[in-house]
Amino acid sequence: MSGPLDGVRVVEIGGIGPGPFAGMLLADLGAEVIRVDRPTGGVDQDTHVVLLRGRRSMAVDLKDDRGLEVVRRLVDSADALIEGFRPGVMERLGLGPDELLARNPRLVYGRMTGWGQTGPYADVAGHDINFIATAGSLKPIAAPDSTPVAPLNMLGDFGGGGMLLVCGLLAALLHARETGQGQVVDTSVTDVAHREWREHFASRLQGRGLELGPLHRPIPAHDGMRMTYVDYQDQETLQRAYPKLAHHIAPVDVIDDAQTLATVEPASFDFLISAHVIEHMRDPIGALVNWLRTVRDGGLLYLIVPDKRRTFDKLRVRTTLEHMVLDYQQPSRERDFEHFLDYALFVHQAMTDQAIAEATRLRDTDFSIHFHVFLPQDVVRMVQWIDGHVTPVAIAEGPVLSPAVDEFHLLLRKGPQR
């Protein structure tokens, strides 16, 4: 009995995980799927026999020009192709989408990776568990106050990446049938696990909250959040300073320095939100300690931090824990100047003499720069140090990030004083 994809031919470049799963589903729906395997056998046939059902397989050496030509000829008469190599591999083989779509303009070219074709993790090896943990989809399946149970590869490889690839391929095949135009369907496991993290973490917050950060983009609040907004200037001054954002700026309830929050009473809030603020603090450890002081025991601190790999800070050196501890224990104006100089050199890209002059100007005007630049693990180490040396605090969720977004998210819980 033929299926709805009877007459559709798919070439599957042999791999593991979501790619074979997608090939299996297309074959189940009636497509003719031809799998191209390594001559030595790229997959343990006994272990993956279910994933390989319903299609023929041929051994082709992709390191041999004759083998590559075999694949090109197969694709010339195919409706779709599936590949799951790391980014750039198919292009280096001469089997990239540009080459194959030039030969077969109606081809639907399906790509599957763990992290995506671009971004800081694009070339990093990984498995299902890495992808769903980094994307934040592992923690929510844990029972309260326990660690998650790994869902095999049902959530990421199959229910996520492979299923998303099949949906994209089916839509693109319909488009090609109507128009004769093929396209690239580019999917990744972390794409399917992506969330709107600001909304997700806002849903974890209840009660009285204090928010620091760019008040033209406050965190979306729900009915259970009673918000107080803090800035070092009042709303009218901010609106004059940023006229294009004026109508977005939230009312300023507390005027205070974000580093100290000196006017805020201890334990007066259930949670605090800091969005793109900690990198501006000359003493990030001291700032975190002061922020924790303002929330009750068991209260939450939600951090949104720029990922240096994806911002104008990408050329700058990450801030080490040792450096942050020194800034906390022994503040120094000379070290502050080093931050201004680093910023002038690698962000403004000034030459030596000009960089010194620019750093001096930034210091004398007390310009708000990114004094510190972070990767997620740097903030984790800082939190662990604070917990061990200053005040109890634990990571409640995160850090998490999404592909092509320049920030990561971390939720902290204040512990009872020891």
Q: Which residue has the tokens 């971004």?
A: 119
**Residue in 287, 208, 304, 207 with CA at minimum distance from that of residue 253:** 208
| Distance between CA atoms of residues 263 and 361, nearest Å | 30
| Distance between CA atoms of residues 210 and 228, nearest Å | 5
Burial (0-12, 13-18, 19+ Cβ within 10 Å), 54: middle
Residue 44 annotated in active site? no
| Distance between CA atoms of residues 305 and 60, nearest Å | 47
Length of the chain: 418
Burial (0-12, 13-18, 19+ Cβ within 10 Å), 329: exposed
The residues near 400 (Cβ < 8 Å, ≥ 6 apart) are 134, 135, 136, 195, 197, 408, 409, 410
Strand segments (E) across 75-122: 80-83, 108-113
CB atoms within 10 A of CB 226: 12
Give the chain's largest Cα–Cα span: 79
| Distance between CA atoms of residues 75 and 34, nearest Å | 10
Catalytic pick among 28, 48, 127, 216: 127
**Secondary structure class of 401 (helix, strand, coil):** strand
Distance of CA 389 to the CA centre of its chain: 30
Handedness of CA 198, 320, 284, 388 (dihedral sign): positive
Q: Which run of H or of E encompasses 295?
A: strand 295-306
Residue 366 annotated in active site? no
Burial (0-12, 13-18, 19+ Cβ within 10 Å), 52: buried
| Distance between CA atoms of residues 375 and 313, nearest Å | 11
Q: Are 368 and 280 in contact (CB under 8 A)?
A: yes
**Pair of tokens at residue 43:** 């997959």
**Secondary structure class of 195 (helix, strand, coil):** coil
| Distance between CA atoms of residues 125 and 116, nearest Å | 12
CB atoms within 10 A of CB 91: 13
Catalytic pick among 37, 79, 128, 157: 157
Q: List, by residue number, the catalytic residues.
A: 127, 157
